[in-house]
Amino acid sequence: MVPGCSYHSGPMPLPYLTREFPGIGGRIKQRPDDFQVQEIPLYEPSGSGEHVYCEIQKTGITTFEAIDRIARYLHISSRDIAFAGMKDAAAVTRQMLSIQGVEPQAVMEAKVEGVQVLWVDRHGNKLRLGHLAGNRFAIKIRDVPPTDAIKVKPILAEIERRGMPNYFGEQRFGRRGDNDLLGAAFVRGDDREVLRLLLGNPLSGIDDGQTHAARSHFERGDLEAAMKAWPRRCGMERRILARLIKTGRPAAAVRSVDEKLRRLWVSALQSRMFNAVTARRIDSLDRLMDGDIAYKHVNGAPFHVDNAAVEQPRCDAFEISPSGPMIGFRMAIPMGKPMEIESEAFGEVALAPADFKRSGVLRVKGTRRPLRVRPENVELSGGVDDFGPHVTVGFTLPAGSFATVLLGELMKTNDAQGAM
């Protein structure tokens, strides 16, 4: 059983590390500039090369929408624009892009709604997903008195000492919260379940009237009625359903799903399983076990722990941490108690690392991820502006870690969700 209360939904409640400290409540993301994020680049552009690097500031739109708008303005394909990380829509965010086949001046002069180009330079290589050192956040928690900044200090002190759970945020699992279920069905080769989740399974409060009706028709087996009900804007669902109607074969319909989407499902499955393991180890997040695979924070290198007592001082110094599974067929597997914990989580979805090598499942290799990370350069203040009182917290997290996890520890409310 997992101790404590959950701060977001999912198959398994995710407990707080700092359960003994009450949260301050409040609300986030009431206005875009209440949630500010700036990427910390992994490297600077060299000044020469065929790719134009630029830093953009976007407000109120997703990274994909910003890229689409820039591509339309420059009359290029969105595939010619690369990014290092996704950034939330309901925020003011700064991030790097690389653009191929354009002149720097054209990018600098771009006039795009919701996007401001801050600077441009050239570089020899395309920007790759994950090519960032971290993210700097400045977030206002509203509907709380400014003096509550004092109440947050002991929570932050505990997290700075022990680290925070490196959970994936709930946004990782999609608007319907089922990307991981789609991933599990896909890896198991259960094509009918993939289609049921993708085209059926109506959810009140999430699906609008048209999509709820379409999904309900599919659940009843009336494919033609479902096709008529699906809105034209749902091109992906309509295309897959049309393939199913034409062939009568669920496998053929699933094969028509874009590979990027299938990879997203599998990634969500990996994330959910990692969260499950982290939750099981929440009370010893900063303690190594014999048989662990430790993670070196300086370079990400993993190694087997034969004697936890010998390695624990390095863990106390935050040089290393226990790691959890990003499941795949080549993932390093721990021994002893850590292996039992991971096997239990894998068993809940009836999957094992070897299943990710099956033909047609994208052959996901897998990796290890630290169970904890430590926020750096933490700043805290309280104040009042034109929109009311607030507590502002600033901090830096490594790439791939979620600000909402830290906010959950501070607030202990469900409002601390939905942004990275």
pLDDT in tens, the chain (420 residues): 333 333 333 445 699 999 999 999 999 999 999 999 999 999 999 999 999 999 999 999 989 899 999 999 999 999 999 999 888 888 999 999 999 999 999 999 999 999 999 999 999 999 998 889 999 999 999 999 999 999 999 999 999 999 999 999 888 898 899 999 999 999 999 999 999 999 999 998 888 899 999 999 999 999 999 999 999 999 999 999 999 999 999 999 999 998 888 988 999 999 999 999 999 999 999 999 999 999 999 999 999 999 999 999 999 999 999 999 999 999 999 999 999 999 999 999 999 999 998 756 678 999 999 999 999 999 999 999 999 999 999 999 999 999 999 999 999 986 564 433
* 208 noted as active-site residue: no
Which of 76, 95, 130 finishes a domain?
Answer: 130
Judged on CB neighbours under 10 Å (0-12, 13-18, 19+), 173 is buried
Domain count, the chain: 2
Q: Can you tell me the distance from the alpha carbon of 118 to that of 136, in angstroms, rounded to the nearest whole number?
A: 17
Q: Are 1 and 407 in contact (CB under 8 A)?
A: no
**CATH code of 118's domain:** 3.30.2350.20
Q: Can you tell me the distance from the alpha carbon of 153 to that of 307, in angstroms, rounded to the nearest whole number?
A: 34
189 occurs within a structural domain: no
The H or E element containing residue 182 is helix 179-188
177 occurs within a structural domain: no
What contacts 94, CB < 8 A, 6 or more positions away? 37, 38, 39, 55, 56, 57, 118
Which of 130, 165, 184 finishes a domain?
Answer: 130
- Which member of 33, 68, 80, 88 is catalytic? 88
Which of 101, 130, 159 finishes a domain?
Answer: 130
Residue 309 belongs to domain spanning: 283-373
402 occurs within a structural domain: no
101 occurs within a structural domain: yes
235 occurs within a structural domain: no
Cα-based angle 372, 375, 377 (whole degrees, multiple of 5): 160
Task: Give the DSSP letter of residue 281.
Answer: T
